[in-house]
């Protein structure tokens, strides 16, 4: 029974040893039987928390733009050992985090053009904080993006004024 429960659970998506242990406990499988099945699954490679953690980090960092702090917290919640989680999160370097934060902010900027800068900063900072980014990095990325975005808008408006003024000087 424990074996079939685990196999069914692993069919949909990879699971950590802890997730399978929790599932077996929830289904009322005795601890000794669950332990035997989980040990056997470990031996044959059906459960590999390190591989799970590496795949999880790669997927969540690329897809959701999560920072290392958030990734580590998710892995701990899934029952991955702290050392294994640390090794997996080490796959994400500083540049990956900066790039992901910039992509998240750039994606969100168009919807914030109608609000003042302070409101935009606050909303972007909250979004990055929920993704696990520290305040220092988040502030820098937000300020950089808003400065660039607002600078792109202003010259477009003033360019028309300057070009009209220049034309007036040439017109009779």
Q: How far apart are alpha carbons 169 and 165 in whole angstroms?
A: 7
Pure H helices in 13-134:
17-26, 31-44, 49-64, 68-77, 82-89, 94-108, 117-130
Percent residues over pLDDT 70 in the chain:
88
Q: Is the pLDDT assigned to residue 124 strictly greater than 70?
A: yes
Task: Return d(Cα 86, Cα 88) in angstroms, integer.
Answer: 5
What pLDDT score was predicted for residue 109?
92
- Separation CA 105–CA 63 (nearest Å): 14
Separation CA 63–CA 167 (nearest Å): 50
How high is the pLDDT of residue 88?
Answer: 93
Question: Residue 153: pLDDT band by 50, 70, 90 thresholds?
Answer: low
**Of residues 56, 146, 155, the one with CA closest to residue 108:** 146
* Residue range 110-134: mean pLDDT, rounded: 93
Confidence grade of residue 152 (pLDDT, cut at 50, 70, 90): low
- Which positions ≥6 away from 89 have C-beta within 8 Å? 57, 68, 71, 72, 75
pLDDT digits (tens, 9 = 90+) for 12-55: 888 898 999 999 999 898 888 889 989 998 888 888 899 899 99
Confidence band (pLDDT; 50, 70, 90) for 104? Answer: very high
Give the range among 98-112, 118-132, 143-157 with minimum mean pLDDT: 143-157
Residue 162 clears pLDDT 80, i.e. is over it = no
Reported confidence tier of residue 154, pLDDT bands at 50, 70, 90: low
């Amino acid at each position: 029974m424990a074996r079939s429960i685990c196999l069914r659970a692993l069919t949909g998506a990879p699971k950590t040893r802890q997730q399978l242990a929790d599932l077996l406990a929830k289904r009322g499988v005795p601890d000794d039987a669950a332990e035997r099945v989980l040990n056997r699954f470990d031996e044959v490679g059906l459960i590999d928390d390190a591989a799970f953690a590496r795949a999880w980090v790669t997927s969540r960092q690329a897809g959701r733009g999560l920072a290392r702090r958030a990734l580590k917290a998710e892995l701990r919640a899934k029952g991955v050992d702290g050392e294994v989680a640390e090794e997996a999160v080490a796959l994400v370097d500083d540049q990956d985090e900066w790039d992901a934060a910039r992509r998240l902010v750039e994606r969100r900027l168009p919807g914030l053009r109608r609000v003042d800068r302070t409101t935009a900063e606050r909303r972007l900072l909250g979004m990055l904080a929920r993704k696990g980014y520290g305040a220092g990095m988040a502030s820098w990325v937000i300020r950089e993006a808003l400065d660039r975005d607002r600078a792109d808008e202003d010259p477009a408006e003033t360019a028309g004024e300057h070009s009209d003024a220049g034309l007036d000087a040439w017109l009779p």
